[in-house]
Amino acid sequence: MGRTIGIDLGTTNSCIAFSDGGHPTVIQSKSGSRVMPSVVAFSAKGERLVGLVARRQAITNPKNTVNSIKRLMGRRYAEVSNQINDVSYEIVENGNGDAAVRIMDRIYTPPEISAIILQQLKLTAEEFLGEEVTDAVITVPAYFNEIQREATKAAGKIAGFNVKRVLNEPTAAALAFLEPQGKKKLVVYDFGGGTFDVSVLQVIEGVFEVKATLGNTTLGGDDLDTKLVQWIMSEFKSETGIDLSRDNIAPQRVREAAERAKCELSMTHETDINLPFIATGESGPVHLEITVTRNLFEELAGNLIHETIPLCKDALDDAGMKIEDIDHVVLVGGSTRIPMVQKLVEEFFKKKPAQSVNPDEVVALGAAIESSVLTGQRKDLVLIDVTPLTLGVETLGGVLAPIIKRNSPIPTRNSRIFTTASDNQSVVGVHVAQGEREIIDGNRSLGTFELRGITAAKRGEPRIEVVFEIDASGILNVSARDTTTGQEQSIKVNPSGGLSGHDIERLRKEAAANAEADKIRLRFVAIRNEADEVIYKASKSLKVAREELDKESWTELENELKKLKTLRDEEDPLAIEKAIAVVRQLNSSVSKLVEVFESDEENATSEFLNSISKVEGEGNSAK
């Protein structure tokens, strides 16, 4: 059995951590990066790029670069149609109403794109740990519904993970922030790139109990960026008459500059945006040069930031707590670095938020701690989470009948008795939904199934028990049973937001195949990098040797160096490795000859100077 890791699958960046003896550590990539951009791209050659390398080429390849895929996870196309203009890639409907993306004439579901990110994280973890990674705890926004949770779990399965638990991000942050001893109450304010959550927790001697959670899965740092992008493009149009939104590449350049400016404004009061050759006007190339102040940014994005505060108040009310009851406020997510966010949180909770945790890493660390609990490394922690939204079934007149109310501790099980609406009714349709509206249409439909074989009787006489059961990951199972006949039927919420079990298995095999291809590609990259280094050193030695040694001394090195330069771009790693070894050995020999020559020349020069000195000395003596 392989290692278990904790994964923060973020909208903007993702982070991974592992637990050794119960102590969590962030896993770094070979380049030393502690977070990886949650970006996937496809090159013109069909090559799949992930992370920083995908983000770097986004400007020149915008339509084939997917970022912020988390915002589409488990959501219907109609829900996200307002986001279509905020991204460079094409958002489409995948045939059953779910949101997907079209890249190079192929439609990818959000779990597929997320699986590519998770697969890269898995590879990074295995390289870092030097062993196979099989299991994972993956975090999600606390306010994710059942479809979104199942879609995240499906992404993990496609990537080759056994997903041991889907954990709420604020809960994970609390695990990483607070020691289990004593009694504390805390609020986790999680403002990330794509979502916002607030959770209220109580910790008593190692028992972490979530009392309430609220959030908005369509509010995040991306929306703040959009406000700034819209202002920049509007200003540019008013000054030049050029509409940058009609260009293929310009909007992506502006968005990247806006995001960078937002980050800089957290440290300074104003910043300049300079984008040369952003467009072409009647008189030639046009440059974008504009100054953005912190006050302006706060004016543009302030309304969105203020939307988080009422949710904090409602979460406290749901938890039955007052502001003065809270001992700590923990900030999670990159957007909490914005000074206005920190100020608003401090003003509302009347205490300075904790600064002891890295908002980009704390969730992954918490997920790693939970993995240590699940694997038995730590026995001093107990986690009691809650379901964020009410779950129920549709009844006569399109009304939602609640079975499990929001903020109920999980795992949990609850049931209600229903009956038939007409005489001799033999079939009952069970429509499962989630949300806070009393009318079914205002909530998210999770699925439907039929219970057949009901005893023929007058309306109102049959007793049908509907049972809702939620596991520790917040995954829902629903069953219905005729108490008279014992006839039973059940449903598990669609495990992928649009993918069947067969689809998941097929995609898992494809992902595994791609994982092997990625390993081979990484091996080529490492070998070619080694070849480049050897070519550089040998070329340097050869240049000196040509000046100082006879031709016979360096001809063989020159010939083998030419071979290595040719082989470097071939698809034969063994041949490249052999050529590297030959050139390295010849280079060592030539370098030693050069050293000997230079040493002999230096000695000869020294002896000559000494002889001159002696002659002069003798001459002086004779005089």
The tokens describing 541, both together, are: 């030695």
* Residue 190 annotated in active site: yes
The one-letter amino acid at 124: T
* Residue 222 annotated in active site: no
The tokens describing 75, both together, are: 């959501």
* Residue 8 annotated in active site: yes
> Are the C-beta atoms of residues 364 and 17 closer than 8 Å to each other?
yes
Buried residues in 402-413 as b, exposed as e (16+ CB within 10 A): ebbebbbebeee
> Are the C-beta atoms of residues 426 and 453 closer than 8 Å to each other?
yes
- Between CA 216 and CA 195 the distance in angstroms is 6
> Strand 65-67 and strand 39-42: pairing?
antiparallel
User: Active site residue: 98, 146, 190, 482, which one?
Assistant: 190
- Between CA 187 and CA 329 the distance in angstroms is 5
Residue 293 contacts by C-beta under 8 Å, 6 or more apart in sequence? 265, 269, 270
Rounded (5°) CA angle 614-616-621: 95
Strands (E), 282-390: 284-293, 328-332, 382-386
- The residue whose two tokens read 């039973």 is 488
> Strand 65-67 and strand 36-37: pairing?
unpaired
The closest of 256, 293, 263, 218 to 360, measured between CA atoms, is: 263
The one-letter amino acid at 220: G
> Are the C-beta atoms of residues 133 and 162 closer than 8 Å to each other?
no
Q: What is the DSSP letter of 74?
A: T
- Between CA 296 and CA 169 the distance in angstroms is 31
Which of helix, strand or coil describes residue 571?
A: coil
DSSP string of 230-284? HHHHHHHHHHH---GGGSSSHHHHHHHHHHHHHHHTTTSSEEEEEEEEEEEETTE
User: Active site residue: 70, 184, 211, 262, which one?
Assistant: 70
> Are the C-beta atoms of residues 42 and 50 closer than 8 Å to each other?
no
What residues pair up with 214 in beta bridges, in sequence order?
198
Residue 92 contacts by C-beta under 8 Å, 6 or more apart in sequence? 77, 99, 100, 101, 102, 107
The closest of 138, 109, 40, 111 to 473, measured between CA atoms, is: 138
> Are the C-beta atoms of residues 148 and 217 closer than 8 Å to each other?
yes
Buried residues in 380-394 as b, exposed as e (16+ CB within 10 A): ebebbbbbbbbbbbb
Buried residues in 82-101 as b, exposed as e (16+ CB within 10 A): ebeebbbbebeebeeebbbb
* Residue 380 annotated in active site: no
CA distances for 475 relative to 281, 298, 426, 430, 566, angstroms: 55, 39, 30, 18, 55
User: Active site residue: 86, 98, 146, 169, which one?
Assistant: 169
Which of helix, strand or coil describes residue 583?
A: helix
- Between CA 72 and CA 10 the distance in angstroms is 13
Question: Could you list the active site residues?
Answer: 8, 70, 169, 190
